[in-house]
């Protein structure tokens, strides 16, 4: 019966090997082994293509399985090739030397605390001999913040003298792989440009299709500002309607995340669904019994959906959702079931064929898992609510059944990526989704009355009230007891096992056979056993860790019972940056919240006095100021690690007169010039040293 179910969904069978091929190619690329593998894959591709064509004409039914096997391998190789080709287009040897580059700003710059973040398109490189090399690579440029850089806009053409480097990670354990993330988003390099080493040669020089989309979005945002929206109201309204999330504060992001409603801030399928329902309601006067009118209505809906995607800046999540709903609208023209699992798998297949990197996009994974769960589980869950006869009752039951199904489908991925489970998701969706629908519909009406400002201002008052009510509901749910469980750690294999268990459980509910129930229970036990074994292997071991986090030098001392201490070298450390970088590592080890130590401290297992750390028979000297300068000692103090951080202005030789050092640790807070100078001193003195920016985080087990 399982094979009969698979035969009903042919695109599901094709999607599997395509995904495996994309994943294998990605892993080999980032391991640096894609070159020789790709040279073998290309001949296989044409071989499978030839065998596929020959097997399709096979008249003997007993040998038709050859067609299926070859087709699977063909999809695997196709996925491998598409991913490999897409990633090869990103690779370029920029070199470490500084030279002149011509570039265009492809998005609006983001003003940070100390610099201006710019996404650019490199078009030309000019070397010292004035030889020009044509480029077509995306890059990220950090401009020193000043009055000139703050005035830049999308489409400006710059010429800059700088050097570019390939994206690299900090090397902290279980940290987000930012380098891989950038490469998957076609970003080839990162560069820093100081003041005086760049100039704008033309303003608003490029009018690409995407830039025009951003311009339209900026006009909508300008209307919001003109109507008096500001603060959290402006940020939430911009995120809900046009997908602009730059104005969202950390507090409002955290509130929506804890309450389980962060999905409404990400412009995706939910919002496109609301817009689709509105368009269908507005165009229902067109008689659907006439074929021409039905086609016209469908085309108008699709045109409006893609117009909305244009206004939002053609973000990847919106494009995916609009593409899916466009197919949904087209399927309504046929006499078959409007939207089925096979249609969904077909959408995923062709989208991954066009952009294989979407496979690793969290939004893509969550969207398709949610829709799949809704299609499979929502009708069964809806039947759990008997005796509902009113229209409002049907609406509420439908909303709850959809929320439960979507939560079941996305919960493993949410736990994997965010280590958080929101317990009040059902209550949140019952409150938030109706409010979001009202806000979106009212905002559309408000924008339609743009030529009539007095009337538009009155509608804007209602929108502000609705947004305030939405934020109040979210904050109220956030304050409820046990609103979320944080620090949950799942392995990738756990997620695959959970989805397999859910599939087998659903298969049992469909067949009601005991053997299928036994199989699902066995799968669950296997997942739990594997998780417990890996968790036991990952239990914390006594030792200490030096993290590679800029502007937050610290020593993390670990105990076997899960207790830990963070000894900060800076009196005002950037703790948020540190926690963001290594919270995954702490969750995996199931560490308790570390005890922060900034001043002198004496405990049962650890002592920290005068910047000398003693832990389990090891001594670490934290050098973050000039207290050791111009000092002398009758006998040097023996220490294991000399931890050099920002704040010390002397040379290394001066410290070696006070301490006998085994290893020197150079922190990321040091400037490049000073870190290189200390490294040169260590080599001259034949002293072992570790540079955290070059080697990443290091740990020493005791």
pLDDT at residue 558, as a whole number: 92
Share of the chain above pLDDT 90, in %: 9
- 420-429 b/e with 16+ CB inside 10 Å = b? bebbbbebbb
CA angle centred on 250, ends 645 and 321, rounded to 5°: 120
Nearest to 21 by CA among 91, 92, 71: 71
Element (H, E) at 272: helix 269-282
Predicted model pTM: 0.82
Contact 483/259 with Cβ under 8 angstroms? yes
**Calculated CA dihedral for residues 43, 44, 46, 50, nearest 10 degrees:** 140
Residue 162's Cβ-side half-sphere holds a number of Cα atoms within 13 Å equal to 27
Asked whether residue 443 carries a pLDDT value surpassing 60, the answer given is yes
d(CA 240, CA 256): 13
Q: Is the dihedral of CA 251, 254, 259, 262 positive or negative?
A: positive
Listed in order, strand segments (DSSP E) in 32-114 are 99-105, 110-111
- Residue 512's SS3 state is coil
Q: How many helices (H) and strands (E) does the chain have?
A: 22, 22
Q: For 151, which DSSP code?
A: G
pLDDT band at 61 (very low <50, low <70, confident <90, very high): very low
pLDDT-based confidence at 58, cuts 50/70/90? low
597 or 4: whose pLDDT is higher?
A: 597
DSSP 129: T
How far from the centroid of its chain's Cα atoms is residue 188's Cα?
18
Q: Is the dihedral of CA 492, 496, 497, 501 positive or negative?
A: positive
- Residue 217's pLDDT is 79
Q: What does the pLDDT look like over 654-702, one tens digit per residue?
A: 888 888 889 999 999 888 889 999 999 999 988 999 999 988 899 998 8
**Per-residue confidence (pLDDT) for residue 2, from 0 to 100:** 54
Least confident of 208-217, 506-515, 610-619: 208-217
What was the pLDDT predicted at 546? 94
- What mean pLDDT comes out for the span 209-221? 76
> How far, in Å, CA of 286 to CA of 275, rounded?
18
d(CA 673, CA 197): 19
Cα 205 to the center of its chain, rounded Å: 31
pLDDT tens for 552-566 read: 899 999 998 889 999
Measure the CA–CA gap between 195 and 144, rounded to whole angstroms: 6
Unique residue bearing structure tokens 């009230």: 465
Rounded CA-CA distance 4/511 in Å is 13
Coil/strand/helix, residue 642: strand
- CA–CA gap between residue 681 and residue 689 (Å, rounded): 10
Q: Phi, psi (5° rounding) for residue 464? A: -60, -40
Rounded to whole angstroms, the Cα distance separating 93 from 98 reads 13
- Which candidate, 266, 201, 216, 210, places its Cα nearest to that of 239? 266
Residue 596, token pair as written in the block: 């922060």
User: How many Å apart are CA 678 and CA 673, to the nearest integer?
Assistant: 9
| Contacting residues for 366 by C-beta, under 8 A, at least 6 apart | 263, 410, 413, 414
The pLDDT of residue 55 is 54
* Edge-to-edge strand ranges of the sheet holding 564-568: 595-597, 564-568, 554-558, 543-546, 698-701
Contact partners, residue 485, CB within 8 Å, separation at least 6: 420, 421, 423
pLDDT at 250: 80
**How sure is the predictor about 210, in pLDDT bands with cuts at 50, 70 and 90?**
low
The Cα 300–Cα 278 span in angstroms is 12
Using DSSP's 3-state secondary structure scheme, residue 619 falls into: strand
Q: Model confidence over 128-160: pLDDT tens digits?
A: 778 888 888 889 999 988 888 888 888 888 899
Contact 508, 520 (CB under 8 A): yes
- Residue found under tokens 């507090």: 251
Q: What are 153's strand-pairing partners?
A: none
Q: Coil, strand, or helix at residue 154?
A: coil
Question: Which two tokens mark 141?
Answer: 């440029």
- 372/359 Cα distance (integer angstroms): 16
pLDDT for the residue numbered 525: 92
pLDDT at 393 over 80: no
- Has residue 71 got a pLDDT over 50? yes
Helix, strand, coil proportions of the chain in percent (round to 5)? 55, 15, 30
Name the most confidently modeled range: 90-94, 201-205, 279-283, 456-460: 456-460
Residue 103: which of 182, 198, 212 has the closest Cα?
Answer: 198
In the chain, the largest separation of any two C-alpha atoms, in whole Å, equals 101
- Averaged pLDDT, 343-370: 85
Residues 160 and 105: beta-carbon distance below 8 Å: no
| Among the listed residues 391, 469, 386, 385, the one whose alpha carbon sits nearest the alpha carbon of residue 426 | 385
pLDDT averaged over every residue in the chain: 82
CA distance 437 to 445: 13
H or E element that contains 595? strand 595-597
Convert 572-588 into a string of H (helix), E (strand) and C (coil). Answer: CCCHHHHHHHHHHHHHH
What does the angle CA 358 – CA 155 – CA 103 come to, to the nearest 5 degrees?
A: 80
Helix (H, G, I), strand (E, B) or coil at 667: coil
Average confidence (pLDDT) over 451-456: 84
For the cut 60, the answer to whether the pLDDT of residue 317 exceeds it is: yes
Read off the tokens for 323. 């593409």
Residue 182's pLDDT band (cuts 50, 70, 90): confident
Nearest one of 124, 29, 15 to 71, comparing CA atoms: 15
Instruction: Give the pLDDT of residue 289.
Output: 62
- Angstrom CA distances, 221 to 112, 238, 247, 447, stand at 20, 7, 11, 11
| Residue 320 predicted with pLDDT over 80 | no
CB under 8 Å to 184, separation ≥6 — which residues? 26, 87, 357, 360
pLDDT higher than threshold 80 for residue 215: no
- For the record, the structure tokens of 570 come out as 């800076």
Radius of gyration of the chain from its Cα atoms, rounded to whole angstroms: 29
Q: How far apart are the first and last CA of the chain?
A: 56
Q: Distances in Å between the alpha carbon of 620 and those of 88, 465, 616, 647, 664?
A: 45, 57, 11, 17, 10
The tokens describing 255, both together, are 């509130």
Is residue 257 within 8 A of residue 265, CB to CB? The reply is no
């Amino acid at each position: 019966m399982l094979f009969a179910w698979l035969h009903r969904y042919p695109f599901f069978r094709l999607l599997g090997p395509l995904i495996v091929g994309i994943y294998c190619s990605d892993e080999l690329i980032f391991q640096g082994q894609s070159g020789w593998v790709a040279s073998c894959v290309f001949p296989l591709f044409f071989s499978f293509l030839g065998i596929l064509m020959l097997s399709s004409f096979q008249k003997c039914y007993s040998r038709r399985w050859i067609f299926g096997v070859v087709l699977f391998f063909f999809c695997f190789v196709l996925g491998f090739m598409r991913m490999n080709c897409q990633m090869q287009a990103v690779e370029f040897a920029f070199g470490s030397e500084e030279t002149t580059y011509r570039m265009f700003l492809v998005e609006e710059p983001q003003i940070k605390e100390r610099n201006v973040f710019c996404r650019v398109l490199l078009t030309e490189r000019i070397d010292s001999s004035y030889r020009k090399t044509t480029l077509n690579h995306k890059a990220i440029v950090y401009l020193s913040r000043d009055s000139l850089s703050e005035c830049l806009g999308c489409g400006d053409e710059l010429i800059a003298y700088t050097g570019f480097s390939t994206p690299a990670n900090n090397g902290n354990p279980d940290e987000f792989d930012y380098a891989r993330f950038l490469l998957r988003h076609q970003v080839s390099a990162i560069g820093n440009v100081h003041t005086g080493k760049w100039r704008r040669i033309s303003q608003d020089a490029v009018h690409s299709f995407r830039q025009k989309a951003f311009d339209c979005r900026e006009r909508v945002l300008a209307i919001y500002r003109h109507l008096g929206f500001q603060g959290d109201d402006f940020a939430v309204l911009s995120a809900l309607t046009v997908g602009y999330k730059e104005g969202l504060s950390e507090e409002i992001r955290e509130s929506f995340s804890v309450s389980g409603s962060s999905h409404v801030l990400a412009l995706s399928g939910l919002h496109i669904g609301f817009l689709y329902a509105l368009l269908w309601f507005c165009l229902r006067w067109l008689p659907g019994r006439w074929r021409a009118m039905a086609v016209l209505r469908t085309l108008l809906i699709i045109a409006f959906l893609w117009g909305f995607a244009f206004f939002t800046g053609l973000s990847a999540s919106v494009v995916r959702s609009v593409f899916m709903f466009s197919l949904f609208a087209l399927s309504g023209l046929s006499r078959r079931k409007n939207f089925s699992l096979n249609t969904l798998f077909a959408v995923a297949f062709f989208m991954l064929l066009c952009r294989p990197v979407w496979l690793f996009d969290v939004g893509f994974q969550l969207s398709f898992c949610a829709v799949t769960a809704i299609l499979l589980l929502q009708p069964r869950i809806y039947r759990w609510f008997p005796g509902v006869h009113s229209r409002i009752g049907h609406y509420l039951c439908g909303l709850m059944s959809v929320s439960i199904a979507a939560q079941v489908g996305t919960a493993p991925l949410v736990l994997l990526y965010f280590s958080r489970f929101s317990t009040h998701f059902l209550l949140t969706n019952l409150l938030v989704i109706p409010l979001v629908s009202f806000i979106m519909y009212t905002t559309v009406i408000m924008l339609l009355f743009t030529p009539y400002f007095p009337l538009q201002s009155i509608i804007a008052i209602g929108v502000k009230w609705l947004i305030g009510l939405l934020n109040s509901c979210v904050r109220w749910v956030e304050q409820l007891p046990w609103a979320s469980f944080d620090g949950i750690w799942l392995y990738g294999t756990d997620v695959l096992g959970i989805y397999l268990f859910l599939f087998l459980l659903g298969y049992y509910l469909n067949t009601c056979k005991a053997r299928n129930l036994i199989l699902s229970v066995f799968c669950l036990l296997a997942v739990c056993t594997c998780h417990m074994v890996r968790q036991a292997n990952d239990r914390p071991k006594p030792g200490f860790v030096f993290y590679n986090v800029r502007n937050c030098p610290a020593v993390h001392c670990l105990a076997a019972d899960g207790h830990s201490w963070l000894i900060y070298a800076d009196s005002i450390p950037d703790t948020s940056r540190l926690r963001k970088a290594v919270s995954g590592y702490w969750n995996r080890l199931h560490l308790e919240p570390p005890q922060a130590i900034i001043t002198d401290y004496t405990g049962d297992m650890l002592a920290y006095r005068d910047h000398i750390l003693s832990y389990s028979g090891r001594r670490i000297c934290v050098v973050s100021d000039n207290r050791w300068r111009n000092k002398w000692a009758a006998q040097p103090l023996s220490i294991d690690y000399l931890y050099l951080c920002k704040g010390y202005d002397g040379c290394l030789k001066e410290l070696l007169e006070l301490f006998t050092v085994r290893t020197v640790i150079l922190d990321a807070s040091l400037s490049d010039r000073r870190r290189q100078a200390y490294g040169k001193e260590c080599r001259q003195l034949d002293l072992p040293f570790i540079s955290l920016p070059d080697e990443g985080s290091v740990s020493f087990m005791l």
